[in-house]
Amino acid sequence: MNETQRQSLLGAIAISSGAAGVGNITPQQRADAFANLEQFKTHPGRVSACVEMIGCGSLQIDCGSGNAPLDVTVPGKLYALGVIQEFLKVGYNGLNESDRGQLRASIVLAARQLAMPVNGSVTKMSDSTRILAVKIAALLADLALREFPQRWQTFVSDLFSPLSNGGIWCEAGTDAGSNTTGVKICLECLKLLTEDCTDSDYNARISTARRNDILLGMNEMSKLILPPLFELLSKQYGDVSNANSTLSAMNQYLASNGRTVAQMTSDEREQYEQQINIRDSAGGMVANVLGTLEKFCQSMPLDWMFKVENGIDFVTALLHLLKEDVASIQVLSVACLQQLSMRKLDQSQWLRLVSSLPPALFEASSVSAQRAIERGIEPNSIDMLVEQLEFHRSLSKMGSTLVSAHLAHITSDKDISSGSGAKFDAVSSYLQLLSEMTTHPSGVVCGSQINTWVGLLRDPAIVKTKVLSPHLGRVLTSYMNHMVKIRWQDVWEQGHPYAALIDASWDDEEEYNDWQGNLRSKTSQLFRSISNTEPEIAVTAIHSKICMLLNAHCNGEPRDQLDPKTNELTPHSTACLQLEGATQPLDNILQGLPPWSVDDGNYDDKRNRIRSTIRPQLSELANMIVSWNPIDIWLKFRRTTLLEALKHYWKYEPSTLPTGVDSLLLYLSVKDNPPRERLSEDIIGLRKKCGVSLVAVSKVVPSLLVPWLTQLSGRAKTLLTAGGLSPINEMHLYEFLSCVATAVENPVERSTFIADVLANSIRSIESPNIQSGIQSTESLLSFMGIAQATNPACLTDRDFVKKVTRDFSSLFSSFNQLLSVGKRCHSAAKKRPNGGLPLQNLSPILDESMKNFPDEGPVSINDLAINDPFIPLWPKLLPTLLQVLDVTLRVWHPEFQATLLRDNIQRYALAISDDEAYLAMKHESSVGGVFGKGGTAGSIISGTDRRDMNLSPKWSGWFNELRNNCFQLLGLLCSQRVIYAPEMSSLFPRLVSIITNKEHLRSMEHRHFNQCLKQFIEIMMLTCPATLYQSYLTAILGPIFEHIQFRFQCSWGPILGTGGLLVDSTKPLYSNDCAYAANHLASGGVESWLVSYYARGGLFVGDLDCVTGEAMVEKTRVELTRTFSDMIQTVLALKGGWALVLANKAREEQAVKKNDPSILASGPKSQISVTSGPTNADGTKRTSVQLHLDARKMLRIDKLCHFLLLENEQIAGYLVLTMIQCLQYPDAYTCRRCTRIVHRILETVAWVDRYTELLGYRLLSSAVKAIITEPKWMVGIEWDMINIVRDIYGRLVLGQYYLPGGQGPGLQQARDSSNSARFEQTKVVDKPLLGGGILQTPSEFPRRVLLEIGIIQNDIMLLENNLMENRSAKDQKEALRDLLRVASDKMGQDGILERARKDESLLQQRTRMPEVQPLPEKLVTYSMVKKVEEENPGLGLADGPWHGNLF
């Protein structure tokens, strides 16, 4: 490059970088400059030119005679370094050894030039120099990645030799001085090199062999790296200490003369500022060293930090630096210790930290206090707490990590377990330190430790030691204090005593609320664990807390934050906040108490002593809460929550239970004072909470309330007949009574009481008003005020709105009450000794040979009612339920939609609700729900929502509630097995005619159909007795599955570019488009309309914005396929309760095989078992009756799979076709689950000839297409899809079968001895859960599929030979991947979906090469030679192979 070209390049650099002195630049000149710079990057001689530029002391542009040259040294060298860095990625490997050496030397020379002091003076590094230094350090690290240690053996000496010896480092025995730049380049280079070699993403950039060579080289050279670092750290910290001492002496001198810093003379100020500069400069260098050491602590050998040799001891240095706050040195020291604490330390290393940290922190605290006193500040003042918050927070996190990551050192050490000795004292002192940290006023400090304390308490071995008990009281008190919500208004107004500290701890109120919500969820386990481990400590703490609060705030004192209208307390009042903060600890502590601490059993002296202390405190506590009678509404609300928490205590001591329940019943009818026409929101909230609390209490202690059942029933009737209760209050009351009633022992009395409780609901749905309102769809529209909407004025008429609302509430509330009580009764029935089975006497030993059971068939209502008192009500309820469902579904029929959509108001009966629109989008917690700021209230019908006195926004919610209730009641009908009772056989055809009605199925929106699948169809398949599949499931599943296949095809067609509709057709229906949609329905016909109807999910979103509307369509589409795939998974025992049965069976087989019964008493490895005795595979307790229940489920698992796939052509055909379709839909959730279902299908039917074309061609084609087209949505599930290809090919072509789910090696079947063209069938052909069967005569369909995608016949034969010779799952799947990559490479972009990038592609995984390749030279270090010599005396390295193990 000649001088003219050089000047032109520098001019372009000056223009593009905006260098000072360039003058006015036109846009064209700037564009030309950028173009020239980009063109230069492709110039063949660019590297040599850049090397020359880097080697120059300065880069200047000649501005002509008489003008000073323009200096562009920094931007020029930055550009040159950038060009070289890019060259390293693409062309460096092509350089010869000489060129590589010259390039390295030039970069090192550039670093030395930058590090050279100017005229020997100490100058502060400028911003431009800093940027250039970072760039050079990055380039040095990149070169080291490619060269060190084999080719660049002088790397360490080039960096850590002093400048006088040709290096970059500072002179030995001195501080950085004028060579700050060189030292920082070295530190940054080491930091980047360590990061690149140990980062979790290293495989994407650096080969494993190269990474190992570098790390091995660094470890070999550690004796040349670590001493200079330690020496620099010591010297710089000494400078910091000396400067601090000098500054302290100066301050004392000024104070002794009655002067301040502001009153210094000019000479004094100059000296003072000189010391500050020295301190800050040295502190900054210490911070840089610590930044590099942090990476060493994170990834390099632990001996680098822990080994003490020749006076080098980094751990002691880090502990010593905890007391220095200059340049955040103490925070950076904690960061280094944090990295060490996360490593796998041996016990000696761990104990060293545990025993050294408390005295080190005590010294740091003393220094900090002294420093504060010298500044005239109180050591524990708010200013100091704010100043040290980051240090305290990181210290708390590090301290807790050191314990939680090494719990095994506590449990495995006998000295610690014994409760005495030096090790025990060290651990106990350390835990005391942690517990004292939890008392910090800022919640973020103690919040960092929550996981550690929970982990300690969950470990039974640690709990048995004495190491935790002394500290739990302090920990419990600290976390209880942080349960109290901070009133953020006090922080804004600086009224809170710790306002400045709180403001520094959280950015805003939203972040604080998120933090506290997370803390509360975690402390639940903490409180329960402390209570279970040390009940005396827990009860004493909560007793003291509650007593203090009630004494201080029983009347709302100090009565602040009052409502100006009522002069009553608000949720933000101090009394309410304090009491609210005590509710969760009380509930968790009472729940966690071990039974021996409160019951009347006989125990040892220690437990009896603890119980004698606990019970009086709990009795006093319960009496205080029960006898407290506040006047303010919000204090009543707080009392309600405290009463609810007492339910755990009432299990053992119910003397105050009647009074407590009576108080809750009293609050259920509380009114405003003075009375108002409409109840206030506070009163409504209080009533709701009381109802919830009543139900919660009745679920825990129902048997204790049975003696008062008559009184409770009378009290409930009084409340119901008095009126004024909201529907939800009535529902709570019914649930409360039903929970108590389920505890009645006599079945007849139970049924009679439940019938009496629900008599009003039954009478309501049988009333003439409701029966006439549900007689037809037209009458239902009139009943809900929709038909009258032709006169818009009536929709806002107060009397009319109240009448319609009252009528609908009567219908819906009745159904809702019946549903709630029915669910409670069914749940209680399953908890009975017989597990809800309609057999009162179950044999204690189960006969495994039984293939049927007396209750696996029709069971009469009378027999079912013995367990479930709700069942006798079904003959009265079901006819009305079916009629309501029928007329509700008819509203969406095309003829009604065409009519309603044309009307400007009636159309909104078909719309989604504001609540559904809200759920379609992700919202921040600050939005405040549907009606909050940013909510969706009023978005469907502009300007009005369901809270207004207007009927139109209520209709959509009403229809949702009604339809949802109907499907849930049908699901309950199946769960309770009433549908299969002989007495209900006359109503079953009516049910079938409604559910399978073609117009009903076609007209339902996706969201409606989802409800039907989840709440009814899935439950029916799971609960139907195996003997009744043909008579009950056939009639329903056939039409359902046929319709699902059509619905899915139309819904996903526009997304896949099939079916003739564009992607725009997936937009929802808006108000402005209703007339067009109605006309399309009338003129285009129903069939054409259905296709577009399904494309938009059937959604009409009113006036909703486009973004939310389209999100709603997407949500309903994916939910539809996900719901269906989840349902099929559940009924094929791939998830849910049936899958647990199979997991339990597998554990039993494993226990027998290993002769280890303890397997049956252990839960999953991810959980700590808290139960004794037999457990399920998910860790829950296994009951004796579960053996009987599981036997029936096993029978259904076998029979239902056979029924769905082999007994009915309509069901099986459409089910399999739908699964094949689902593999193509761009939804990873659905696809992943469908792969599991497909394996079960193959295991069940692969041996059946009539399935061969469906599986071998259609299914395989879909799977292969999904793999070779590599759609982006499928990234992460490619192996699942390849496993399907393997399963199909093995079973249909190769005579191989596999373990369930396509797992394990291919199990090869032999050829049939009588016909070599056939394989012998497997012995488990009729047992899909054991692997299933194969197709005996190999099919040509799979080969045909491979030929169609471009695989030649010879490659197919090679593949088959490979699959038969190498039958391991890994080998077979990799062989298929390699073959399919060939087909993928021949394809371009296929379809409208985005294709995965090469770095995401599984098929291209083997073709991807790391950016940094391994070097051909074998690494041989001095340590390797010495090791070989020690192991083989007299044998040199070249005399035999060396097998090294890097780590």
pLDDT at 1181: 84
CA 530 to CA 1444: how far, in whole Å?
Answer: 50
Contact 430, 358 (CB under 8 A): yes
pLDDT at 357: 95
Inter-CA distances, 378 with 371, 381, 383, 1247, 1278, Å: 10, 5, 9, 84, 63
CA-closest candidate to residue 894, choices 1040, 775, 1002: 1002
3-state secondary structure (DSSP) of residue 784? coil
- Residues 6 or more apart whose Cβ sits within 8 Å of residue 488: 509, 512
pLDDT at 1085: 80
**Angle CA(1296)–CA(1300)–CA(1301) in degrees, nearest 5?**
95
Which ranges in 438-533 belong to alpha helices (H)? 443-447, 450-458, 460-463, 469-481, 488-492, 499-505, 509-533
Q: Which tokens belong to 1040?
A: 């359902």
pLDDT at 163: 84
Radius of gyration of the chain (CA): 39
CA 1032 to CA 1021: how far, in whole Å?
Answer: 9
CA-closest candidate to residue 963, choices 871, 1034, 889, 1062: 889
Contact 875, 983 (CB under 8 A): yes
pLDDT at 1437: 44
From the CB of residue 369, how many other CB atoms can be counted at a distance below 10 Å? 15
Give the total residue count for the chain: 1447
Contact 1391, 1056 (CB under 8 A): yes
Provide DSSP, 836-855.
T-S-S---SS--TT----TT
Amino acid 907 reads: R
Contact 326, 371 (CB under 8 A): no
- Residues 6 or more apart whose Cβ sits within 8 Å of residue 65: none
Inter-CA distances, 1147 with 62, 944, 1132, 1152, 1329, Å: 84, 58, 19, 9, 15
Q: What is the DSSP letter of 561?
A: S
Judged on CB neighbours under 10 Å (0-12, 13-18, 19+), 43 is middle
Contact 657, 705 (CB under 8 A): yes
Tell me phi and psi for residue 231, to 5 degrees.
-65, -45
3-state secondary structure (DSSP) of residue 23? coil
Amino acid 814 reads: S
Which ranges in 939-987 belong to alpha helices (H)? 952-975
Q: What letters, b where the CB count within 10 A reaches 16 and e where it falls short, cover 789-815?
A: beeeeebebeebbeebbebbbbbbbbb
pLDDT along the chain (1447 residues), means of 10: 80 79 77 87 83 80 72 84 86 85 88 74 65 90 91 90 86 66 91 86 73 91 91 91 91 87 88 90 92 94 92 94 92 96 94 95 92 85 92 95 93 86 93 95 94 92 89 96 94 92 93 93 94 95 96 94 91 95 96 92 90 95 96 95 96 94 93 85 93 94 91 88 85 90 90 91 94 95 94 91 93 93 92 82 54 84 92 95 96 93 93 88 66 83 90 94 96 95 94 96 95 96 94 95 95 85 85 88 83 92 91 94 96 94 90 85 64 78 86 92 95 96 93 95 95 95 90 87 95 95 94 91 94 95 93 93 94 92 72 54 66 82 78 56 35
3-state secondary structure (DSSP) of residue 65? coil
pLDDT at 198: 85
Inter-CA distances, 886 with 1014, 1018, 1035, Å: 18, 20, 18
Contact 731, 812 (CB under 8 A): no
3-state secondary structure (DSSP) of residue 1122? helix
Q: Which tokens belong to 233?
A: 């750290």
